[in-house]
C-alpha cells in the first residue's frame, strides 16, 4: 500500500453518508506535488485526532486508490490508524511579521504552482483524465446567498455517535448548500459562473453566527463582510473539486493569502 505525505488543504464539512456513516473527506497536495482526496475519516476518529488533521499539517498515511463510479483520479481511501503527523510548521500563522511572511511564502510555493487557468481548462482535464481537483483565481467575484437568510435550512442533528473507546461525538448540524460565488475566470472567453461554495469555515461561521446574531440582517452583513469585503483585501483563490454523485465543480475551500507585494510569485 503506498505511503503518501500530504499537506491537508481542504476539509469538507462532515456529512452523513449511507456508505461511510458520518465522516470527513479531505483534499490536499502530496509532497510529490499531486492533488489527492482522501476519505473516509470517521467523525469520531476526527474528533479525537483534530490536532493531527488541521489544515496545512503535513501528514503521512497509507492510502489506496478508491473505486468510484466517476473514477475521480485523485480519490483515495485512507487507512485511519496509519495517519501520522510529520510537520506542522505551516499550520499556525506566527505573530512575528517576518515568520508570518515566511509561512505565507512557503504555503504559496506549495499551492500556487498548481494554479489552473479556468474552469474551462479544468473541464477539459476532467474529460481527458478524470481530473477532479484544482485551484483557480477568480478575476471578479461576488459572494452570494441564494436564499433569504432566515429560510436557509439547518437540520439540527441530535445524533450522537459513540466510538469504541466510549467517546461521544456530536454530529454537526447539516446546513443547506445555498452559498455560492459568482465569478469570472482569468480567461477572456469566460462567460461567468455561479458556483456553490462548501467551504467548512463558511458553514461554521453561518452555524455559530446564527446563534449569535438573532437579526437576519446582521447575520447577512457579517457573512458578506467576511466572505466578500474582507476577501477582497486579500488574494482569494478557489480550491474546487467535483462532486462524487454528478461530477459538477463546486468550491470546496477558500485560500486567501495576504495580497502579495511580490507579484513574481504568481508568475510561475
Ligand atoms: Zn470561467
Beta carbons of 182 and 194 less than 8 angstroms apart:
yes
Q: Cα of 73 to ligand 1 centre, how many Å?
A: 22
Predicted confidence band of residue 267 (pLDDT cuts 50, 70, 90): very low
| pLDDT for 102 | 94
pTM, entire model: 0.92
| pLDDT for 153 | 86
- The answer, yes or no, to whether residue 163 has pLDDT greater than 70, is no
Beta carbons of 30 and 2 less than 8 angstroms apart:
no
Q: Cα of 191 to ligand 1 centre, how many Å?
A: 6
Q: Cα of 179 to ligand 1 centre, how many Å?
A: 18
| pLDDT for 119 | 97
Buried b vs exposed e over 25-46: b needs ≥16 C-beta within 10 Å? bbbbbbeeeebbbbbbbbbbbb
**Mean pLDDT for all residues in the chain:** 90
* pLDDT above 70 coverage of the chain, percent: 90
Mapped onto helix, strand or coil, the DSSP state of residue 65 is strand
When divided into structural domains, the chain yields a total of 1
Q: Cα of 118 to ligand 1 centre, how many Å?
A: 5
| pLDDT for 18 | 66
Predicted confidence band of residue 268 (pLDDT cuts 50, 70, 90): very low
Predicted confidence band of residue 14 (pLDDT cuts 50, 70, 90): confident
| pLDDT for 171 | 72
- The answer, yes or no, to whether residue 261 has pLDDT greater than 80, is no
Beta carbons of 69 and 16 less than 8 angstroms apart:
no
Buried b vs exposed e over 84-104: b needs ≥16 C-beta within 10 Å? eeeeeebbeeeeeeeeeeebb
Mapped onto helix, strand or coil, the DSSP state of residue 184 is strand
Higher-confidence residue of 16 and 204: namely: 204
Beta carbons of 82 and 4 less than 8 angstroms apart:
no
Higher-confidence residue of 19 and 11: namely: 11
Contacts 24+ apart (CB under 8 A), 42-48: 42/80, 43/14, 43/161, 43/169, 43/171, 44/161, 44/162, 44/163, 44/167, 44/169, 45/80, 45/163, 46/14, 47/167, 47/169, 48/163, 48/165, 48/167
| Cβ contacts of 249 within 8 Å, gap of 6 or more | 119, 122, 123, 195, 240, 241, 242
| pLDDT for 37 | 96
Q: Cα of 224 to ligand 1 centre, how many Å?
A: 23
**Residue 258 belongs to what domain range?**
3-266
Burial of 139 (0-12, 13-18, 19+ CB in 10 A): middle
Q: Cα of 234 to ligand 1 centre, how many Å?
A: 21
Q: Cα of 11 to ligand 1 centre, how many Å?
A: 24
Predicted confidence band of residue 168 (pLDDT cuts 50, 70, 90): low
- Residues 186-243 have pLDDT tens digits of 899 999 999 999 999 999 999 999 999 989 999 999 999 999 999 999 999 999 999 9
Q: Cα of 173 to ligand 1 centre, how many Å?
A: 32
Amino acid at each position: 500500500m503506498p505511503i503518501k505525505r500530504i499537506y491537508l488543504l481542504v476539509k469538507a464539512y462532515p456529512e452523513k453518508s449511507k456508505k461511510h456513516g458520518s465522516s470527513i473527506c479531505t483534499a490536499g497536495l502530496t509532497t510529490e506535488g499531486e492533488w489527492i482526496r482522501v476519505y473516509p475519516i470517521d467523525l469520531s476518529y476526527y474528533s479525537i485526532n483534530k490536532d493531527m488533521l488541521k489544515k496545512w499539517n503535513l501528514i503521512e498515511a497509507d492510502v489506496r486508490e478508491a473505486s468510484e463510479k466517476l473514477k475521480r483520479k485523485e480519490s483515495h481511501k485512507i487507512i485511519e490508524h496509519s495517519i501520522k503527523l510529520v510537520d506542522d510548521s505551516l499550520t499556525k500563522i506566527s505573530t512575528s511579521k517576518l515568520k508570518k511572511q515566511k509561512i505565507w511564502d512557503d504555503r504559496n510555493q506549495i499551492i500556487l504552482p498548481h494554479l489552473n487557468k479556468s474552469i474551462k481548462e479544468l473541464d477539459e482535464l476532467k474529460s481527458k483524465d478524470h481530473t477532479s481537483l484544482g485551484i483557480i483565481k477568480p478575476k471578479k467575484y461576488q459572494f452570494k446567498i441564494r436564499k433569504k437568510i432566515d429560510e436557509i435550512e439547518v437540520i439540527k442533528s441530535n445524533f450522537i455517535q459513540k466510538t469504541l473507546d466510549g467517546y461521544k461525538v456530536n454530529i454537526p448540524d447539516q446546513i443547506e448548500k445555498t452559498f455560492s460565488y459568482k465569478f469570472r475566470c482569468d480567461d477572456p472567453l469566460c462567460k461567468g459562473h455561479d458556483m456553490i461554495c462548501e467551504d467548512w469555515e463558511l458553514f461554521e461561521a453561518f452555524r455559530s453566527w446564527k446563534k449569535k446574531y438573532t437579526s437576519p440582517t446582521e447575520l447577512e452583513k457579517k457573512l458578506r463582510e467576511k466572505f466578500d469585503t474582507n476577501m477582497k483585501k486579500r488574494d482569494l483563490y478557489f480550491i474546487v473539486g467535483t462532486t462524487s454523485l454528478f461530477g459538477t465543480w463546486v468550491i470546496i475551500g477558500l485560500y486567501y493569502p495576504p495580497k502579495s507585494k511580490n507579484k513574481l510569485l504568481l508568475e510561475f
